[in-house]
C-alpha cells in the first residue's frame, strides 16, 4: 500500500511539520509513505497530476484555514481520476466539524479530529488489511451504512517522547533552506476564547534530552531559521532558560523564533537574554489589546504594565528581534479604544508590529459567543470578523487600510527614522496617521496597484509636505534620504528627495579612503582593500540635518553632517546596513 502525505503550504518558505511527525510515527510497518509539499500558489492541475502519477492508495492532507478550499477542490478531482483512492483529511480546520464536512463532501473518506499520529497509524493498519475496527480509532470520522460516524476529538499522546523525531536526513534534505518548525511542548495553559489552543488539555513537554538532541541536529545541519511553535515558550522559567542557554552555548548561525508571554519574563531570564549574540533570538509577543474589558471578555489575563516594562527591557538590549501582535475586532473594542491600544504599542518601537483581525475559528469559544457580541463574519475561511456591536464594517475597512500602510512603511524598515520623527513632532496618533495615509492612497488612485518602495517614499512626501513648515520639511527629506540609504545599497533615492551638494564631494570621499588613519578608524575590516574596491562597499552622503543624532537621541539638530554607509555588513537584528558620521 502506498500513502501520500500532502502539504499545501501558504508560502514556499514554510514546511509542514505535522506530516513529518506522522510519517515517522507510522514507520515502515504501514507500507510506503511519501511526502509531497506544494503551496496554495501552485496550479491545482499541476498538483493533481503530481499526485496522480504517484498512483497512491491513500492521500492524506493537513488542513488549515488558508488551504481548506484548495484541498477540497483538489480532492474532488482526485476522486474522479483515481476512483479507488482513499482520501483522508486532518488538521485544525477539519477537527471540529469533521462529520458535517464529510456529509457535504462525499469524496472525503475519512477525517481525523485532533492530533493525528496514533489515529492515522491505526487507520493505515486497517486499510492495509489489519483487524482494527473503525470505531476503535480515536478522533476518526468514517462512513458506515450510508451515514457518517464520529469517534470524537482526540487530544494526543501524553508522553511526547514516544513520538519519533521528525528531523531525519530525508526531512532536512527536502526542506532545504526553508523555515524549520520545532516544538518542545504541545498545548497551552491559557483559555483565550479566539484561539484553538485553548481546546487542548494542559501542556505536555518533550524531555530536555529530546529537545537538545533535535536542536543540536538542526544546528549542525546549518538550518537558517528554527521557528518554535510552542504556544507559550517561556511558561516554565527554568526550562526556558535551559533551552536558551543551550542554543547560546553552541553559538550557531541559526536563528531561533519563539512565541512568548511578556509578563512571564523575570530579571534572571532577561539577564540571560541580554548575553545572547545579536540576531540569535526572536520573540513574538501577543499584546492583542490594552482594553481590560476586551481582555476579560476573551478570557485573557494580562499584567499590561509588567508586559510593557519587560518589552521595553528587551528592546533596550538591542540584541533581540521583537515582534508584537495586535488583534482588531475583539469583544467590546471600538475604533476609539483600539486607537489607544495601537498607539501605545506602536510607541514601543518594536522591530515589527503586526495588526491582525479577529477570526472566529471553528471550535473556538468566541464563535459560539458570536451572537452575544453581535458578530458577523465571513462564511468562508478565514472566518474573519465583518462587524460587531462596537465596531462597524466601515471601521474595520479603515483598520485594513492602516494595516497595509503599517506593513509598507513601518514593517519594511525603510522608513523607520522618518516615522519616528513624524510621530514625535507631527502625528501623536500613529493610527490616525496611517488611516489618513491610506485615505491619500485611495484619493490618488494608488491603492489598488503595485507600488515600489521608491514610489512609496514619493507618495509619503506628497502626503505630508503640504502640512509641514520649512524646518520640518527639511528634516523629513533628510531622514527619508537616510532611511533609504540604510536599507538600499544602490544609492538610488526616490525622485522627489533632494540631495545636498558639496563642492568636490567625490574627490573628498576618495581622499578619505586613501587616508590610512581614517580607514583604520572607520573601516578596519576593509583595511586590505584598494580605494576602488572600497567604493563598491561603502557610500558617503551629505545631510543638512544631524540624522545620527536624531536616531540616537531624538534631537532635531540642523547642521551639515556626512554619513558613511557600510554596505558590506548588516545589523543582525534590524537587517539594516551599518552607518556612522565621519569628518573629512
- The H or E element containing residue 354 is strand 352-357
CB 571 within 8 A of CB 277: no
- Helix, strand or coil for residue 182? strand
39 membership: H or E segment, kind and range: strand 32-39
Q: Where are the domains of the chain?
A: 2-150, 179-391, 487-582
pLDDT of 200 reads 67
Which CA distances in Å does 140 have to 58, 135, 148, 157, 372? Answer: 15, 8, 10, 15, 32
Residue 326: enclosing H or E segment and its boundaries? strand 321-328
pLDDT at 550: 84
**Low-confidence spans in the chain with pLDDT less than 50:** none
H-run or E-run covering 34: strand 32-39
Given a contact cutoff of 8 angstroms between Cβ atoms, the answer to whether 564 and 578 are in contact is: no
DSSP string, 510-558: HHHHH-HHHHHHH-GGGTTS-HHHHHTTEEEEEESS-HHHHHHH-----
Strands of 561-570's sheet in order across: 538-543, 561-570, 577-582
Residue 1, Cβ density class (10 Å: 0-12 exposed, 13-18 middle, ≥19 buried): middle
Helical H runs in 55-206? 68-81, 98-104, 117-127, 169-175
Q: Interhelix angle for 267-274 vs 237-250, to 10°?
A: 10
Instruction: Indicate the Cα dihedral angle 554, 559, 565, 571, nearest 10°.
Output: -10
Question: What fold characterizes domain 179-391?
Answer: pyruvate-formate lyase- activating enzyme (3.80.30)
CB atoms within 10 A of CB 506: 10
**pLDDT given at position 138:** 97
Number of Cβ within 10 Å of residue 81's Cβ equals 11
d(CA 203, CA 193): 17
Q: What does the H/E/C string look like for 200-240?
A: CCCEEECCHHHHHHHHHHHHHHCCCEEEECCCCCCCCHHHH
Distance CA 48, CA 74 (A): 7
Residues with Cβ within 8 Å of residue 242, at least 6 apart in sequence: 208
Residues 6+ apart with CB under 8 A from 568: 525, 526, 537, 538
Which residue matches cell numbers 529537545?
211
Cβ–Cβ < 8 Å for 127, 57 = yes
Q: What is the DSSP string of 551-582?
A: HHH-------EEEEEEEEEE-TTT-PEEEEEE
pLDDT at 36: 96
CATH for 2-150 is 3.40.50.280
**Cβ contact 542:560 at 8 Å:** yes
Alpha helices in 96-254 (DSSP H): 98-104, 117-127, 169-175, 208-221, 237-250
Q: Which three cell numbers stand for residue 346?
A: 506602536
Minimal CA–CA distance to 133: which of 141, 123, 147? 123
Amino acid at each position: 500500500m502506498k500513502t501520500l502525505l500532502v502539504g499545501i503550504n501558504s508560502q514556499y518558505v514554510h514546511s509542514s511539520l505535522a506530516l513529518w511527525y506522522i510519517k515517522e510515527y507510522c514507520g515502515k510497518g504501514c507500507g510506503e509513505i511519501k511526502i509531497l509539499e506544494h503551496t496554495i500558489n501552485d496550479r491545482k492541475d499541476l498538483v493533481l497530476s503530481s499526485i496522480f502519477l504517484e498512483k497512491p492508495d491513500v492521500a492524506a492532507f493537513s488542513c488549515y484555514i488558508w488551504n481548506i478550499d484548495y484541498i477540497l477542490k483538489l480532492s474532488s478531482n482526485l476522486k474522479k481520476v483515481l476512483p479507488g483512492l482513499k482520501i483522508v483529511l486532518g488538521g485544525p480546520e477539519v477537527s471540529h466539524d469533521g462529520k458535517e464536512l464529510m456529509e457535504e463532501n462525499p469524496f472525503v473518506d475519512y477525517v481525523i479530529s485532533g492530533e493525528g499520529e496514533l489515529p492515522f497509524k491505526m487507520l493505515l493498519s486497517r486499510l492495509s488489511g489489519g483487524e482494527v475496527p473503525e470505531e476503535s480509532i480515536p478522533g476518526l470520522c468514517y462512513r458506515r451504512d450510508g451515514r457518517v460516524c464520529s469517534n470524537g476529538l482526540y487530544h494526543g499522546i501524553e508522553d511526547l517522547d514516544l513520538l519519533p523525531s521528525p528531523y531525519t536526513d530525508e526531512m532536512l534534505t527536502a526542506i532545504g533552506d526553508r523555515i524549520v518548525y520545532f516544538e518542545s511542548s504541545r498545548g497551552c495553559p491559557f483559555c483565550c476564547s479566539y484561539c484553538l489552543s485553548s481546546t487542548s488539555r494542559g501542556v505536555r513537554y518533550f524531555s530536555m534530552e529530546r529537545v537538545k538532541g533535535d536542536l543540536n541536529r538542526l544546528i549542525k545541519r546549518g538550518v537558517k531559521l528554527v521557528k518554535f511553535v510552542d504556544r507559550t515558550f517561556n511558561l516554565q522559567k527554568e526550562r526556558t532558560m535551559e533551552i536558551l542557554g543551550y542554543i547560546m552555548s553552541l553559538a550557531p548561525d541559526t536563528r531561533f523564533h519563539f512565541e512568548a508571554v511578556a509578563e512571564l519574563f523575570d530579571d534572571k531570564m532577561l539577564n540571560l537574554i541580554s548575553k545572547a549574540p545579536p540576531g540569535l533570538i526572536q520573540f513574538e509577543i501577543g499584546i492583542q489589546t490594552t482594553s481590560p474589558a476586551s481582555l476579560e471578555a476573551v478570557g485573557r489575563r494580562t499584567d499590561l504594565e509588567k508586559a510593557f516594562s519587560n518589552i521595553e527591557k528587551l528592546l533596550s538590549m538591542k540584541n533581540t528581534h521583537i515582534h508584537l501582535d495586535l488583534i482588531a475586532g475583539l469583544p467590546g473594542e471600538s475604533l476609539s479604544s483600539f486607537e489607544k491600544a495601537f498607539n501605545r504599542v506602536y510607541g514601543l518601537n518594536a522591530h515589527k508590529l503586526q495588526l491582525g483581525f479577529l477570526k472566529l475559528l471553528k471550535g473556538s469559544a468566541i464563535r459560539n459567543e458570536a451572537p452575544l457580541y453581535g458578530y458577523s463574519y465571513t462564511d468562508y475561511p478565514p472566518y474573519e470578523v465583518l462587524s460587531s456591536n462596537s465596531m462597524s464594517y466601515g471601521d474595520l475597512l479603515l483598520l485594513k487600510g492602516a494595516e497595509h500602510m503599517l506593513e509598507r512603511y513601518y514593517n519594511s524598515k525603510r522608513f523607520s527614522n522618518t516615522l519616528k520623527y513624524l510621530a514625535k513632532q507631527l502625528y501623536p496618533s500613529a493610527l490616525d496617521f496611517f488611516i489618513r495615509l491610506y485615505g491619500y492612497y485611495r484619493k490618488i488612485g494608488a491603492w489598488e496597484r503595485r507600488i515600489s518602495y521608491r514610489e512609496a517614499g514619493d507618495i509619503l512626501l506628497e502626503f505630508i509636505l503640504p502640512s509641514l513648515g520649512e524646518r520640518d520639511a527639511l528634516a523629513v527629506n533628510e531622514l527619508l534620504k537616510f532611511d533609504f540609504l540604510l536599507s538600499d545599497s544602490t544609492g538610488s533615492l526616490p525622485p522627489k528627495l533632494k540631495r545636498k551638494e558639496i563642492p568636490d564631494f567625490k574627490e573628498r570621499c576618495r581622499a578619505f579612503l586613501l587616508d590610512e588613519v581614517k580607514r583604520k578608524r572607520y573601516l578596519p575590516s576593509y583595511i586590505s582593500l584598494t580605494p576602488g574596491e572600497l567604493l563598491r562597499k561603502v557610500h558617503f552622503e551629505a545631510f543638512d540635518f544631524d540624522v545620527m543624532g536624531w536616531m540616537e537621541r531624538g534631537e532635531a539638530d540642523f547642521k551639515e553632517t556626512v554619513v558613511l554607509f557600510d554596505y558590506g555588513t548588516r545589523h543582525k537584528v534590524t537587517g539594516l546596513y551599518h552607518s556612522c558620521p565621519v569628518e573629512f
